[in-house]
Amino acid sequence: MRSPRRPLVYGHRGSRAEAPENTLHSFRRAHEVGAEGVELDVRVSRDGHLLVIHDSTVDRTTNGTGEVAKLTFKQLRTLNAGEGERIPTLTEVLDVFPGLLQIEIKAPEAVPALFALDEMSSLPERAMLTSFDQTVLAHAAEAMPHVQRGLITHHCGDELVEAVARLKLSWVCLELRPNLTSNLVERLHDVGIKVDLWPATDAERLARCVDLGADAITTDHPGLIDSWLTSNALISGRDPVVERLL
């Protein structure tokens, strides 16, 4: 049996279970509880500013209404994103969170905005650009070939291995589905691709991620991962000391 390993932990939109998602508070909290990285989402305001917000509208996560792409930076920054937090810029997140970053591109117009930011002050090596959209990733590769990229996907068929080779990716962020097998994870590893599995919502799902050979997991509960790993090890009789994948 393969020895248990501790995957890298990415806090989903920060520490979403403890703080308003995609806010500086949430990212700081993820760091405090030991997450090596955070996953966040970027969109662009009407006047071209790169902001960290998941939805195409502000309705769910703030006290405002309207489409992000139709609101100005000034309008967006007046909104309360929860507990008095504001919608942050990507630059602000880079400043407050010192670890790894998965920057999910939620709108195609974010690619040129990211390129402009990279031209002005290079995106750090700890940053990775991700998307569900393969065309977006291809455009990101053309604009910023030096920045690592990852495909987020629900699909775990044979075509995935072909896609990652074509797009020259570093990572695949795979949804944890019943038909996902360790064989596919091994095939991705064989071609040099690291695998992040999501969502690790509880101890049982985390145990499956580890058994499948995940290099990283994404979770709303980064502060609970080590206790879940320990409980799984005790239940299974395994050594609770886990290896960090760095």
Taking residues 29-36, report their average pLDDT: 98
Q: What is the pLDDT of residue 157?
A: 87
CATH number for the domain that contains residue 117:
3.20.20.190
Write out pLDDT tens, residues 172-191. Answer: 999 999 999 999 999 999 99
Identify the three-state secondary structure at position 96: helix
Taking residues 199-228, report their average pLDDT: 97
Q: What is the share, in percent, of the chain residues with pLDDT greater than 70?
A: 93
Q: Do residues 218 and 206 lie in contact, with contact meaning Cβ atoms separated by under 8 Å?
A: no
Choice among 25, 31, 49, 54 that is catalytic: 54
Counted domains in the chain: 1
- The burial of 66, by beta-carbon neighbours within 10 Å (0-12 exposed, 13-18 middle, 19 or more buried), is given as middle
Write out pLDDT tens, residues 70-80. Answer: 999 999 999 99
Task: Tell me whether residue 221 is one of the annotated catalytic residues.
Answer: no
**Residue 5 pLDDT level (bands cut at 50, 70, 90):** confident
Taking residues 126-130, report their average pLDDT: 98
Write out pLDDT tens, residues 222-239. Answer: 999 999 999 877 555 444
Taking residues 26-44, report their average pLDDT: 98
- Backbone phi, psi, residue 210, to 5°: -65, -45
Domain coverage including residue 18: 5-244
pTM above 0.85, yes or no: yes
Q: Do residues 56 and 43 lie in contact, with contact meaning Cβ atoms separated by under 8 Å?
A: yes
Write out pLDDT tens, residues 89-115. Answer: 999 999 999 999 999 999 999 999 999
Choice among 12, 25, 49, 221 that is catalytic: 12
Task: Tell me whether residue 12 is one of the annotated catalytic residues.
Answer: yes
Higher pLDDT, 233 or 41: 41
Q: Is the pLDDT of residue 35 over 70?
A: yes
